[in-house]
Amino acid sequence: MGYQNRGMSLGRAVVTTGMVLGLGMITAACQEAETPKPLNGGQGASSGANQSSATSPADTKSLKLGALLPSTGDLASLGEPMVASVPLLVETVNQCGGVNGEPVKLVASDDQTDPTAGTEAVNRLVSVEKVAGIVGSFASGVSMAAAKVASRSKVMMISPGSTSPDFTKKASEYNGYWARTAPSDSYQAPALAKLAYDRGFRKVATIVINNDYGIGFEKEFITAFKALGGTIVNEAKPTRYDAKATTLKTEATEVFGTKPDAVAAVMYVESGSLLLKSAYEQGVSQNIPVLVPDGMYSEDLAKKIGQTKDGKFIAQGIQGTIPGADGTALANFSKIWEAKLKRPVGAYAAHSWDAGALLVLAAQASKQNTGEGIQSKIREVANGPGEVVSDVCEGLKLLKAGKTINYQGASGNVDLDANGDVLGSYDIWTVKDDGKIGKLGNVRPK
């Protein structure tokens, strides 16, 4: 797996959440809004005041979708590929005839990685824009707040990246109007715990971002690590930080000052980079390995954390996991992405494509451009039975002909269980000597 030996400093190696779990399988997993902007055939968006989330029927003449994703805030760098992916899906669908005989309209909104902003934005999407379905959000805290509004309004919401285990527990509250194309952290946290234990770490300290993602992951990690026989040295006084904090010196000193064998750091890129840089500059992280999950993935992670006095990247040697993409539709999606955007496919882009694909396919299957119609057919198009398809246009063609389908996505097979969850696969990545992200392998939970 290429893991660094124990005892290396933060500037030399930061270990993450890839590991052998169960029968040797490695697992892993993972929000103020601007006026929505219509894309790909959308009409001018209204910028009226926020309204309540009372149930509003969607425009049944054409399918209108919303995108609720972070263009700003702590997850902006991870959110960029998602923001770019959804318009590609809508453009592709409209080029092959749209849905139910009409072009699809898309209204995009920046949730700014903030639950309050996300709630304002989703209220606007369902009450003013009257969308039938939403791709989003990314941060679990944003999705947790937005899903309540969307489900009450009978708007189908599919997240490409909210991984908190709490969504599984609260699935019944959403009445089938919630799903996600990225797997839950209920896989990743135990994987991280076993990795720590297998590497000989018996005393681990945790530091997490104080939101649904961080606290949910922390809980799962602590339970799993203690079950293995390990000790969480700061369990009685956990270190949690505010995502909007501008300095994290105190938190860095606090968690590393417990002198653990290793630190499990559940963070987002912007704030996490600030903390790790502070820990390095204060000299408190020396010889204490750090384990990080997918929230720290970013192509510019090394630049954000900075360099040592001798010019080396502090992040050099970091390893991590992130929901990967290995679906049968990946090749076709990659071709569309690279032809249009002239760059490699980014993290979570495939998951965002699949979220949009499921929404349009379900609308076509129900022959209704409404949230209720989408909700009634979402699991049918995702799971089958029906003809296996990986091309969204082919799927729409078959559905228009009255046939049933089983969509196989770009991220994976996107089979949805009763809670709207998927399994999926994971990429193991590392920060190379030149500061660039490199892929080390791909793993799938059993």
What would the 3-class secondary structure string for the chain be? CCCCCCCCCCCCCCEECCCCECCCECCCCCCCCCCCEEECCCCCCCCCCCCCCCCCCCCCCCCEEEEEECCCCCCHHHHHHHHHHHHHHHHHHHHCCCECCECCEEEEEECCCCHHHHHHHHHHHHHCCCCCEEEECCCHHHHHHHHHHHHHCCCEEEECCCCCCHHHHCHHHHCCCEEECCCCHHHHHHHHHHHHHHCCCCEEEEEEECCHHHHHHHHHHHHHHHHCCCEECCCCCCEEECCCCCCCHHHHHHHHCCCCCEEEEECCHHHHHHHHHHHHHHCCCCCCCEEECHHHCCCCHHHHHCECCCCCECCCCCEEEEECCCCCCHHHHHHHHHHHHCCCCCCCHHHHHHHHHHHHHHHHHHCCCCHHHHHHHHHHHHHCCCEEECCHHHHHHHHHCCCCEEECCCCCCCCCCCCCCCCCCEEEEEECCCCCEEEEEEECCC
Q: Give yes or no for residue 56 having a pLDDT over 50.
A: no
Q: Give yes or no for residue 318 having a pLDDT over 60.
A: yes
Span 157-183, mean pLDDT? 95
Domains of the chain in sequence order? 15-29+187-324+425-443 (3.40.50.2300), 37-184+329-375 (3.40.50.2300)
Share of the chain above pLDDT 90, in %: 70
Distances (CA, A) of 179 to 16, 184, 198, 284, 416: 27, 11, 33, 41, 7
pLDDT of amino acid 246: 86
pLDDT of amino acid 442: 67
Distance CA 115, CA 379 (A): 27
pLDDT of amino acid 444: 58
pLDDT digits 0-9 by tens, 360-395? 999 999 999 999 999 999 999 999 999 999 999 999
What pTM, to 2 d.p., does this model score?
Answer: 0.81
Share of the chain above pLDDT 70, in %: 85
Q: Give yes or no for residue 183 having a pLDDT over 70.
A: yes
Among 87-96, 319-328, 374-383, 409-418, which is the least confidently predicted range?
319-328
pLDDT of amino acid 446: 52
At 314, the pLDDT band (50, 70, 90 cuts) reads: confident
- For the chain, the average pLDDT equals 85
pLDDT of amino acid 443: 60
Q: Give yes or no for residue 29 having a pLDDT over 50.
A: no
pLDDT of amino acid 292: 87
pLDDT of amino acid 288: 86
Higher pLDDT, 40 or 159: 159
Span 296-308, mean pLDDT? 92
Span 347-356, mean pLDDT? 97
Q: What are phi and psi of 292, to 5 degrees?
A: -130, 145
At 60, the pLDDT band (50, 70, 90 cuts) reads: low
